[in-house]
Amino acid sequence: MTKPTKELKSTPFTEVIELERIVTPDEEKRVDHIFVRRKKICKRHPEGFATEEIARFDIAWPEEPKEESKESTEEKEEIKISTN
């Protein structure tokens, strides 16, 4: 089971400014590697205290639905008919 990823958002106390976002797909692991660089500014501080942070996380691709092929169901029916 995968964990849901919550993006950091601005609040009445802090402002979040996204500076850079890099998305790298990985077909082998079926995930997107996300790299985010953002600046957080404290609104309650008189001078607007700012910090910069980096976040890295993975987002899994949705699973592809598996469909039975029509050929396999036709083969099963033929087998049933031939065994009677």
CA distance 33 to 59: 7
Beta partners for 24?
33
What SS3 state is found at 57?
strand
pTM attached to this predicted model: 0.61
Q: Are strands 14-26 and 50-60 parallel, antiparallel or unpaired?
A: unpaired
The pLDDT, as a whole number, for residue 46 is: 84
Please give the average pLDDT of every successive group of 10 residues along the chain, which has 84 residues: 74 93 91 93 86 91 71 56 54
Task: Check if the beta carbon of residue 49 is closer than 8 Å to that of residue 42.
Answer: yes
Q: How far apart are CA 12 and CA 7, in angstroms?
A: 16
What pLDDT does 84 receive?
52
Q: Which residues pair with 17 in a beta bridge?
A: 39
